[in-house]
Amino acid sequence: MEVSCVWPLIFITILRLCRVHALLPIPIISMEEKIKIDEETKVTCSLPASECRCLEVELRIITEEKLKNCVSHKGNFPNVTCTLEVTKDMHEVELSCEAHFRTKSKPQKLNIQSEPEFTDCPDKLIWIDGQENSFHCKAKGYPPPTVTCVKDSTVYTEGEKFTTHKNMSGDFNCRAANFDVVSKMVTVSVQYEPRISIIIVQPSEAIEEGENLTLSCEADAVPPPSYSWHTPTTQLIYDYDNRTIQIKDAKRIHDGYYICIAQNKLGIQMLKQKITVNEPEIISATDSNLAKESKGNGAEKMGPAFSGLFSVLLLLSFYYLF
């Protein structure tokens, strides 16, 4: 029973060996067509095609004669070429080509589980409002960690493209997670051009000559803007950052448009405000006397009428009494 079981195994092994050898490519040896005595000639051993990329192959030219300057080439069409010094005694000398194969498996990587670790994640980022951006927080570990950054319940995946808005300024919690989790804070500053909301005028936009007035320009920008003004006159008082200007003892030359200019490296915006300076109302002495006379004349006109009415009332009272 044991002998009968061995023979099938031997037969299967022989079949496998034959199959392997049948699959192996056969090397080819090639030489020049016209070979002359006392000259060098090239002899090449090569494989016909790259059918066995999984095999390492070594090609050899086999002969009893002395070969020199052998050069090997690897790749899709491996070959070896040698130089042979030809003599008349070499007629009908045999040369053959041998291919020696070494098989190997495909490489496999050894994957060792490791907790996540940030490798490239800056503490601070500067973005421009309206431009396309993304978080570039790289982390290593196995399995490869997933990196996300969160602010106000909004989650951004590492590398995800989005349009930046100024309300995105602030601290983001960036997390790298696989079987473990690590996190770090990333501070984002979104820069944007100036936006002037209002020019505040105190006490009002219309004043009389001799009064005081203040204009303050309110602008929002990152980085903070610089301020300048275009005004009807230079007779003004500026504060330390030019955001506020004052008019002392207003005159007619202060009447006109005041333009606030707010500017940073990203842009510029302007807003204008009209200021009116009125002349004060002047009452002359003649007009004052006329006003007094009109009051006096009114009293005199009312005097006789009042006396007549009093007399009538007095007579009626006597009539009813007696």
The pLDDT of residue 33 is 77
> Could you give phi then psi for residue 63, rounded to 5 degrees?
-165, 160
The pLDDT of residue 97 is 85
Domain 15-103 has CATH 2.30.29: no
Q: Mean pLDDT across the chain, nearest whole number?
A: 82
**pLDDT, tens digit (0-9, with 9 covering 90-100), for 264-317:** 999 999 999 999 999 887 766 555 555 455 555 544 444 554 455 555 454 444
Neighbours of 186 (CB within 10 A): 19
> Could you give phi then psi for residue 229, rounded to 5 degrees?
-130, 150
Domain parsing of the chain, residue ranges: 15-103, 114-192, 193-278
Chosen CATH of 193-278 out of 2.60.120.10, 2.60.40.10, 3.30.470.20, 3.30.450.40: 2.60.40.10
User: What is the pTM assigned to this prediction?
Assistant: 0.56
Least confident among 53-57, 70-74, 93-97, 182-186 = 53-57
Length of the chain as a residue count: 322
CA distance 236 to 320: 80
Cβ neighbors of 238 (< 8 A, separation 6 or more) are: 229, 244, 245
Classify residue 63 by burial, with Cβ atoms within 10 Å: 0-12, 13-18, 19+.
middle
> Could you give phi then psi for residue 56, rounded to 5 degrees?
-90, 130
Neighbours of 189 (CB within 10 A): 14
Q: Is 166 a residue whose pLDDT tops 80?
A: yes
The pLDDT of residue 28 is 81
Cβ neighbors of 85 (< 8 A, separation 6 or more) are: 40, 66, 68
Greater confidence (191 vs 49) lies with 191
Same fold, 15-103 and 114-192: yes
Place of tokens 């007095």: 314
Q: Is 17 a residue whose pLDDT tops 50?
A: no
Q: Could you give the 3-state DSSP secondary structure of residue 131?
A: coil
Lay out the sheet containing 28-31: strands in order across. Answer: 28-31, 40-46, 79-85, 67-73
Say which amino acid occupies 164. T
Which tokens belong to 126? 């500067």
Q: Is 320 a residue whose pLDDT tops 50?
A: no
Output the CATH code of domain 114-192: 2.60.40.10
CA distance 139 to 176: 7
CA distance 209 to 279: 6
Say which amino acid occupies 75. G
Q: Is 246 a residue whose pLDDT tops 50?
A: yes
> Which of 1-10, 46-55, 118-127 shows the highest mean pLDDT?
118-127
